[in-house]
Amino acid sequence: MKILAVDTSTDYLSLGLYDGKNFYEYSLQAGRQLSALLVPTIKRILDRLGWRVGDIDYFTCGLGPGSFTGLRVGIAAIKAVAWAQKKPVVGISTLDILAAAVGDNARPVAPIIDARRGLVYCAIYKNNKRTSPYMLLDEKGLLTKIKSGSIIFGSGVNLYKEGLLKKVKGLTILERDYWYPKAHNIVNLSLERIRNKKITDAFGIKPIYLYPKECQVRDK
């Protein structure tokens, strides 16, 4: 079984591949160059491994929340190639991917992504299970959600770091290595969903947009 997985919801292009035995991962800080880099990067990595697109059994895409532009680019690319190859797709929230890096933990785990406009995306996890909805929060809202002893990390932490440290007891802030999706975690979550038959076709995946509709970019 071969899997190709990507997440494009942050400043980083995270690309993971799995051949049933070995994991391969690639990470690139793409920023605004993502749309120009995504497809050539995928092609280059496939060529290096000696894979053809038709060899891939499942395609996986991070669904956000995150960058509107990044999500549209990544999801459109996965939809196109999966549809052309008539292969199934797995969609995974970027917050789930980030939380997977911490693993099974009895403490509350909260990935926090910078959502711009002074807001953050966040969800709460415990013992590998999500215990909250995916949320769009301002500082006041975030401070009410993060409990004592929590583990927090992500690109949105620095927005409210001072307030969090002042208000929340026993807080642990993880280093930057945890702030962006890791490709092997995307693949591992994909394998779990494939085993549980949580898959769809190319047009069954949709980005997770948490901003009100009037603030969103419309999908065509």
Is 58's pLDDT higher than 80? yes
How do residues 147-205 score in pLDDT, each as one tens digit?
A: 999 999 999 999 999 999 999 999 999 999 999 999 999 999 999 999 999 999 999 99
Q: Any idea how long the chain is?
A: 220
Is 74's pLDDT higher than 50? yes
Is 218's pLDDT higher than 90? no
Q: Within 10 A of 155 (CB to CB), how many other CB atoms are there?
A: 21
In this prediction, residue 16 has a pLDDT band, given cuts at 50, 70 and 90, of very high
Query: Which fold does the domain 103-173 belong to in CATH?
Result: Nucleotidyltransferase; domain 5 (3.30.420)
Query: Which fold does the domain 3-94+180-215 belong to in CATH?
Result: Nucleotidyltransferase; domain 5 (3.30.420)
Residues 180 and 12 sit within 8 Å (Cβ to Cβ): yes
How do residues 76-130 score in pLDDT, each as one tens digit?
A: 999 999 999 999 999 999 999 999 999 888 999 999 999 999 999 999 999 999 9
Q: Give the global pTM.
A: 0.93
Alpha-carbon distance of 120 to 153, in angstroms, equals 12
- Ordered alpha helix ranges (H), the chain: 34-49, 68-85, 94-100, 139-145, 161-167, 183-195
Phi-psi region of 186 (alpha: psi -120 to 50; beta: other; left: phi over 0): alpha
**pLDDT score of 215:** 56
**How does DSSP assign 71-91, residue by residue?**
HHHHHHHHHHHHHHHT--EEE
Is 220's pLDDT higher than 70? no
Instruction: Tell me, yes or no, if the two domains 3-94+180-215 and 103-173 fold the same way.
Output: yes
Alpha-carbon distance of 74 to 81, in angstroms, equals 11
Q: Give residue limits of the domains in the chain.
A: 3-94+180-215, 103-173
